[in-house]
Amino acid sequence: MKLLIAIAIMAVVSVAGSKITFLGRRLPLGFRNILFTGSEYIFIGILLGGMGLNILDGPTLEMLQPFLIFGLSWIGFLYGVQFEVRFMRHLPRYYFSITALQGTITFIVITGLFYMVLNGTAELIGSSRLMLSLILGATGACTAQSAIAIVNRNYRIQNRSLVELLRYISSVDGLFALGFLVVSLSMAAGFRGASFSVQSFLLNAGLSLIIGIVPAIILILLSRVRFTQQEFLVFIVGAIMFNGGLAIHMDQSPLVSGLVCGIIVANLCRHRLRAMEIVMHAEKSIYIILLLFLGANWQPTIGPGLLLAAVYPLFRITGKTAGMWLAIKRFKPRFPAPSSLGLGLISEGGLAVAIVLDFCMLYPLYAKPLITIIIVSIFINELLSPRLILAQFQGAEKL
């Protein structure tokens, strides 16, 4: 009975939440950004979880795991189906170069700083310190578009080229974050034995990238026959569901395999735009479900986890600032760009949540510290990011 109640509540909250907006102009930008990203649903998840009504307790969450797998596979597919090579070729090449260098430096800085901090933690062995550092580096590498959209909607900005660069980076750097997730998961597979196995590392990396090919081929073949919009919806849902199930059966990431599936569909399926329209229509509902899972799984404790949660935003700001500074110096934009532009990229958003949930589902040992860190970080980053973005634009006028 509790499972049915949990499913009903999650369905109602996700559907109703996708129809509600709180973008009132009277709220400060930071709070408006928090509401725009849906972060308040984390509190609903906490209320429903073990610290609240205990509807989403441990056994119930375990039985609801197929919904989590489907949601992660959906988010991965949604992200991948937007990467059409023909479209990206029309954009300046140095945009991609700046994004790649910025994301890589951010990952290296966060991973390195965290590993040094965790070296003083007696509770974690060497491989656990490395794994926690790697996954935090991966989550820190991505950027949400919400804060940039909030600023762009409420202010008249003269340097439109700089806005477009920030929007491009926030759209594409998640691809590198998911690449770093593959590295993290493959490293975890390599450490499963008594010593690190290069063979296990390579096998895991290969499998995670190959699994998404099978559902993509099936979807492309199905799309070559005549079908109605409702039938195509069934094709999409079936392919995403099959992708997630196959990934978990092979002990791999449904988020990564969904990404691969989406990229293949984006470049080889003639109905790419229809597929993207379908998955984007349900994006907010799926994201709300992930936030409910995140809140329900939170088990805060006073200890090193809270300290790590406090320093993670600082490490992320350091990585973003250093990465963007180096990227601008190396690949000079053809328009004015401040050296502090990395401060405009600290909004974290949904992909970071998906990465953490994906990793914790496969390696639950890391769930407690990672979920604490990501929840604290989301609220800090979303609160500060709009003002830090505004600081990069001189002469911005409020509409």
Task: State which H helix or E strand residue 385 sits in.
Answer: helix 367-390
Give the pLDDT of residue 177.
Answer: 94
Give the pLDDT of residue 73.
Answer: 96
> Does residue 238 form part of some domain?
yes
Domains: count for the chain? 1
CA angle (116, 136, 381) in 5-degree steps: 110
User: Is the four-CA dihedral 240, 244, 245, 247 of positive or negative sign?
Assistant: positive
Position with higher pLDDT, 359 vs 382: 359
How does residue 120 score in pLDDT terms, banded at 50, 70 and 90?
A: low
The 10s digit of each residue's pLDDT in 157-187 is 888 888 899 999 998 999 999 999 999 999 8
Kindly report the pTM of this predicted structure: 0.93
How does residue 78 score in pLDDT terms, banded at 50, 70 and 90?
A: very high
> Does residue 22 form part of some domain?
no
Mean pLDDT of the 316-342 span? 91
How does residue 126 score in pLDDT terms, banded at 50, 70 and 90?
A: low
198: containing domain: 31-394
Mean pLDDT of the 6-12 span? 88
> Does residue 399 form part of some domain?
no
State the Cα–Cα distance between residues 208 and 246, nearest whole angstrom.
11
Report whether 67 contacts 248 (CB < 8 A): no
Give the pLDDT of residue 93.
Answer: 84
The 10s digit of each residue's pLDDT in 46-56 is 998 888 888 88
Give the pLDDT of residue 270.
Answer: 86
Average per-residue pLDDT for the chain: 87
CATH number at residue 251: 1.20.1530
**How crowded is residue 340: how many other Cβ atoms within 10 Å of its Cβ?**
13
> Does residue 18 form part of some domain?
no
> Does residue 115 form part of some domain?
yes
Report whether 284 contacts 100 (CB < 8 A): no
> Does residue 24 form part of some domain?
no
Give the pLDDT of residue 238.
Answer: 93
How does residue 302 score in pLDDT terms, banded at 50, 70 and 90?
A: low
Predicted confidence (pLDDT) at residue 244 exceeds the cutoff of 90: yes
User: Is the four-CA dihedral 38, 44, 48, 51 of positive or negative sign?
Assistant: positive
Mean pLDDT of the 274-289 span? 87
> Does residue 10 form part of some domain?
no
Report whether 232 contacts 271 (CB < 8 A): yes
Residues 6+ apart with CB under 8 A from 355: 135, 138, 139, 142, 177, 178, 181, 255
> Does residue 8 form part of some domain?
no
